[in-house]
Amino acid sequence: MVMKVHGGVASTATMRVFATLYEKDLEFEFVPVDLRAGEHKKEPFLALNPFGQVPAFEDGDLKLFESRAITGYIAHAYADKGTPLVCEGKPMATVGVWMEVEAHQFDTLASKLQWELVYKPMFGMAMDAAVVEENEPKLAKVLDVYEARLSQSKYLGCDCFTLADLHHLPTLTNLMGTPLKKLFDARPKVSAWVADIMARPAWAKVLAMRSQK
């Protein structure tokens, strides 16, 4: 039985899961959820994720929600397929640290900023300049830490590409299409890392799903 991903092609959290599946060359069935119609807030979707959010995931009898729990499951369960996205032993501890950094330091700020700069314009809503003004310097400080880290390590978690890097891709791609691109471009190691991870073939496949729609 094929793995199923319930979600949206433009949902950053769903894209995290697609990226993982493509990196590992795994077959899956995409089950679109009509977010505009609020399908994710009703049954039967709520049985898959009681928090009413995408994505939700199925692998046989296993049902999961939370994109980072899903990607972690896939990476470990299919460790021998495609790109190794996690490590064994001690290096995994540091990968784990930077996965938390993405989840708590980067994504919190990046989500607020992408909402103002990418999604609100899309929905014809007015941007709140104060939110951008407040969070842009905070993101800059986080990226200073990234710059120092990437001066010591090729990728965030270790010397190979792992989930610690991959998890950034959806929100990062959104921000790189806004004036905040300058924050990333201004930091040489960060800039090189961004270019590297965004150029991955698996990521191109995820983006291609949006144009197929």
Partner 1 sequence: MAAPVKVYGPPLSTAVSRVLACLLEKDVEFQLVPVNMANGEHKKPEYLKIQPFGQVPAFQDESIAIFESRAICRYICEKHADKGNKNLYSTNPLVKASIEQWLEAEGQTYNPPSSALVFQLAFAPRMNIKQDEESIKLNDQKLSKVLDIYDQRLESSRFLAGDEFTLADLSHLPNTHYLVTVGNRGEAFSSRKNVDRWWNEISSRDSWKKVVEMQKSK
In the complex, the residues that contact partner 1 under the rule CB under 8 A are: 50-51, 62, 64-66, 68-69, 72-73, 76-77, 90, 92-94, 96-97, 99-101, 103-105, 108, 142, 145, 148-149
The nearer residue to partner 1, 10 or 92, going by C-beta atoms, is 92
Q: How far is CA 3 from CA 28, 69, 197, in A?
A: 5, 15, 25
How far apart are CB 32 and partner 1 at their closest, in Å?
22
Measured between alpha carbons, how far is 169 from 149 in angstroms, rounded to an integer? 18
What is the separation of C-alpha 142 from the centre of its chain, rounded to a whole number of angstroms?
17
How far apart are CB 58 and partner 1 at their closest, in Å?
12
Find tokens 């994505």 and name the residue.
55
Burial 11-36 (b: 16+ CB within 10 A, else e): bbbbbbbbbbbbbbebebebeebebe
The nearer residue to partner 1, 163 or 169, going by C-beta atoms, is 163
For residue 67, how many other CB atoms are within 10 A of its CB?
28
The nearer residue to partner 1, 83 or 105, going by C-beta atoms, is 105
The nearer residue to partner 1, 92 or 198, going by C-beta atoms, is 92
The nearer residue to partner 1, 39 or 147, going by C-beta atoms, is 147
How far apart are CB 201 and partner 1 at their closest, in Å?
27
How far apart are CB 55 and partner 1 at their closest, in Å?
12
Let me know the angle formed at the C-alpha of 189 by 186 and 190, rounded to the nearest 5 degrees: 65
What residues does 206 pair with on adjacent strands? none
How far apart are CB 74 and partner 1 at their closest, in Å?
10
How far apart are CB 213 and partner 1 at their closest, in Å?
26
The nearer residue to partner 1, 108 or 178, going by C-beta atoms, is 108
Q: CA 33, 38, 41, 47: dihedral to nearest 10 degrees?
A: -30
